[in-house]
Amino acid sequence: MNGRQYGASIRLEVADNCPKRVANFLLNQHSLNRSQHLFQVQGPVNLHRLGTWVNLLNAPELKYQPYTPGVPDKLGPKEDLLDVVRNEDILLHHPFRSFNPVVDMLWQVSEDPQILAVKMTLYRVGKKSPITDALMAAAQANKDVTVVVELRARFDEAANINVAQQLTAAGAKIVYGIVNYKCHAKLMMIIRKEGDVLKRYCHIGTGNYHINNAKLYTDYSLLTSDPIIGEDVHRIFQQLTGLSEELKLEKILHAPFTLRRQIVEMIEQEAERARSGEEAWIIAKMNSLTEASVIKALYRASQSGVKIQLIVRGICSLRPGIEGLSENIEVRSILGRFLEHHRCYIFHNAGAPKYFIASADWMDRNLHRRVEVCCPIEDPVLKSRLQYEMELYLNKTKKTWMMKPDGTYQKLPNKGIEAQEKLMRELKRKIR
């Protein structure tokens, strides 16, 4: 049952051998109806609790081998991370690459007298987080610390309130974003005085600033000092902390204002090129796909001859492979050791592909009711990395399920190593 103090109970799960009198008692206590709200489960009722038993079990042959993420030498804890990011963009793929450099960069804020301010969004951060500790240390070191805390992060409301109180006590400024819009963007901006100029260093991620999630979820982190991206991030923080209207951004795509429209426009551009006989394709990876106008645009693009390959882990309202509608669309779901969480979009763009990482799925809530960011990846080396890694997900068929036209899934035959295993082997090695 729902363990919160507020909110209506909507579902009662019990084991299939639960005595009827016990089930009826629980239904009555929570004003639920047997026919609509009772679910009898054949097996463990609470898989989350079952996970605690797995951790206690001493059976290494039944568990994954321990894995330690790789860290490039140039991003070690003793390095000046801002100096590295000043000279090149860094793209980390978690959990194959450690999240520690992001944390270390934030810790350096309190230690560097030239750093004036840090701004950050927190959607999920967890309890006793080094992220929170680093922000508190920065505030106590008289840095200007501004944190946008999302109080409506499902299941983390109490934890986020506690974080906001701790940060306020340390001297940080806490704001709660735009009314009626969840702040789901993952942004950090560090402002440093270098000579006579102010330099912005940014982190843009596809996942939360949650240390444990960074060990279990696949996500991208972009570390950049690109001045245009820095200006875009600055304007987003101005909007989140003030009353500014819709922003005009140069590089970043921004929900709920421009992201949906620009995604549809890029899909339609591919369709137009396909109708002209040119090569046209789209590769996109996300957690869920439900937004109607995006799905309709993908159908039109398929009908025009655009090859579309989608990796959608969860809910997908689009149906692939339907003659005359979506025969040029593939949808696959990949399940592995780590939860596939990162969002990545690639558009062929007449032979000059556009690459994006994003906090947003192509869902109604992400594109219409949340503050989200979608950031271009422009460094040629990083673009090659993204292309290579997306092709791994498309070509390695182990632990892959393909959606059929009727919406059901069929597991593909296991062939060789899976994408996650290959990335673990490749990215664990240090880059020298």
243-253 pLDDT per residue, tens: 666 678 999 99
The arithmetic mean of pLDDT across residues 352-363, rounded, is 98
Single-letter residue type at 209: Y
Alpha helix locations (H) across 129-205? 130-140, 157-170
User: Which burial class, exposed, middle or buried, applies to 239 when counting CB atoms under 10 A from its CB (0-12, 13-18, 19+)?
Assistant: middle
DSSP assignment of 148-198, as one string?
EE-TT-TT-HHHHHHHHHHHHHHT-EEE--STT-EE--EEEEEEEEETTEE
| Predicted confidence (pLDDT) at residue 153 exceeds the cutoff of 60 | no
Token pair listed for 304: 């025009």
Catalytic residue among 93, 94, 184, 342: 184
Model confidence pLDDT, tens digit, residues 360-414: 999 999 999 999 999 999 999 999 999 999 999 999 888 999 999 999 999 998 8
Q: What is the DSSP letter of 61?
A: G
280 contacts 392 by C-beta, under 8 angstroms: no
Cβ count near 49 (within 10 Å):
9
Q: Supply the mean pLDDT for the chain.
A: 91
Mean pLDDT on 293-305: 98
pLDDT band at 1 (very low <50, low <70, confident <90, very high): very low
The CA-CA-CA angle for residues 282, 376, 316, to 5°, reads 40
> What does pTM read for this prediction?
0.89
CA 286 to CA 5: how far, in whole Å? Answer: 33
pLDDT over 90 (residue 156): no
320 CA to centre of own chain: 24
Give me the mean pLDDT over the 101-124 stretch: 93
- With 70 as the cut, is the pLDDT of residue 137 above it? yes
Average pLDDT over residues 272-291: 98
C-alpha 278/C-alpha 398 separation (Å) is 32
Q: Determine whether 184 is an active site residue.
A: yes
3-state DSSP assignment of residue 130:
helix
Q: Which residues pair with 255 in a beta bridge?
A: 372
What token pair was written down for 290?
């439900």
Q: How confident is the model at residue 129 (pLDDT cuts 50, 70, 90)?
A: confident
**Total residue length of the chain:** 432
Of the listed ranges 19-33, 126-140, 145-159, 166-180, the least confidently predicted one is: 145-159
Calculate the CA 125 to chain-centre distance: 13
With a cut of 50, say whether residue 224 has pLDDT above it: yes
The pLDDT assigned to 432 comes to 38
pLDDT at 76 exceeding the cut of 80: no
Which structural domains are found in the chain, ordered by start? 12-62 (no CATH), 73-251 (3.30.870.10), 254-428 (3.30.870.10)
- Decide if 312 contacts 254 (C-beta within 8 A): no
Specify burial of residue 345 (Cβ count, 10 A radius: 0-12, 13-18, 19+). buried
